[in-house]
Amino acid sequence: MSARSSTPAIAALRQQIAAMEGDGGRSRGALPFGLPDLDRRLPGGGLALGCLHEVAGGGNGAVDGAAAACFAAGIAARLPGQVLWCVTQADLFAPGLEQAGLGPDRVIYVEAGDDVSVLACMEEGLRHGGLGAVVADVARLSMTASRRLHLAAKGSGTTGIALRRWRRQQDASDFGQPTAAMTRWRVSVLPSAALPVPGVGRPRWLIELIRARAGESFDLELEACDGTGHLGLPAAVADRSVAAAGGRHGAFA
């Protein structure tokens, strides 16, 4: 992929497409995850800033949204500035978010009554421009709403994360509907890293990039955010040779 982006013809085409999309070719840059395996596969070498991104949990995570919240907190923690977190039910546990890197002084919570006002508050936060990131727990996200949010994020350069979380497991099929978000992630929990003694090791996630504009989707097993919001590469994968690791994702290696 790195070879592809260096071709001048492709770069020129990309600029043309960006001009057609209306962002004037102006890019806000990207936030690298600090993992070459992950960053290499993302357009721009990281999570595009000043855009809307979607994150959902897999399995039971679609309802409790715990792993997705940690993933979003890890991203927000590595962006400078205050973070606005819009929720409908106030069940986020601040000490847990702090362990994902997002300290209590950096998060302003907004508890709105319903999904519509959550989206309105999120848009308000994205338009303001003084925030580092805006995260919102939303269930339904229509194309129109996501387009509004995406444009608001583009206008001010604030990164928005729509944390998709549903009341019931059945409603999670909504995640297949198209939205204007730049990327769409699904974070599912995996059994934690094995320890030589009884106990629970560092949590592991299966991180799936389901959709990315100007990029290809992939999935990757990673270790959960540490105290600074950085994801980790599992030891077993880190020690393997490139050829062995590429068995599953050979097309991208």
Partner 1 sequence: MRRQADDTAPSRDAPLILAGRVGSRRVVTAADRIAQQQGLHTGMPVSKAQALVPGLQVLPASPDDDAASLERLALWVLQRFSPIVAVDPPDGIVIDSTGADHLHGGEAAMLEALIGRLMMSGLTARAAIAETWGAAHALARHGPEPLHVAEVGTAETLLARLPLEALRLPLATLASLRTLGFACIADLLHQPRAPLTRRFGPDLCRRLDQALGYVAEPIEPLRPTELVEVRRSFAEPIAAAETIARYIGKLVVQLCAALEERGLGARRLDLLCWRVDAHVQTVRVGLAKPQRDPQRLTRLLCEKIETIAPGFGIEVLSLTAVMVESLEARQVASSLLETTAPDLSGLVDVLANRVGARGVYRMAPVASDVPERSVTRVAPLSDPVGVGWPDHWPRPARLLPWPEPIETVALLPDHPPVWVTWRGIRRKVARADGPERVFGEWWKRDAELIAVRDYFCIEDEAGERYWVFRAGDGENAGTGSHHWFLHGVFG
The β-bridge relationship of strands 183-190 and 107-111 is unpaired
Closer CB to partner 1, residue 17 or residue 116? Answer: 116
- Where do we find the tokens 């409790």? 64
Residue listed under structure tokens 């020129």: 12
Closest approach of Cβ 66 to partner 1, in Å?
4
* CA dist., res. 133 & res. 49, Å (int): 9
Beta carbon of residue 23, minimum distance to partner 1 (angstroms, whole number): 22
* Closer by beta carbon to partner 1, 181 or else 225: 225
Gap between the Cα atoms of 210 and 55, Å rounded:
10
| Residue 44 CB neighbours (<10 A) | 18
Q: Which of 202, 163, 200 is nearest to 64 (CA)?
A: 163
In whole angstroms, how close is the CB of 195 to partner 1 at the nearest point? 8
Name the minimum Å distance from CB 10 to partner 1: 36
Q: How far is the CB of 95 from partner 1 (least distance, A)?
A: 4
| Nearest distance, CB of residue 249 and partner 1, angstroms | 21
Could you list the residues that contact partner 1 (CB under 8 A)?
Answer: 59-60, 64-71, 73, 81-82, 84, 89-100, 103-105, 107-113, 117, 120-121, 124-125, 128-131, 189-192, 198-201, 203-204, 224, 227
Give the residue with the Cβ less far from partner 1, 44 or 188.
188
User: What does the alpha-carbon distance between residue 37 and residue 41 come to, in Å, rounded to a whole number?
Assistant: 7
- All residues at 6 or more sequence positions from 233 whose CB lies less than 8 Å from its CB, including other chains: 35, 37, 222, 223
Paired with 162 in beta bridges are 54, 136
Nearer to partner 1, 34 or 157 (CB): 157
| Type of residue at 16 | Q
Q: How far apart are CA 224 and CA 86, in angstroms?
A: 23
Q: Which is nearer to partner 1, 89 or 241 (CB)?
A: 89
Residue with smaller CB distance to partner 1, 5 or 93: 93
CA–CA dist 161, 47 (Å, integer): 11
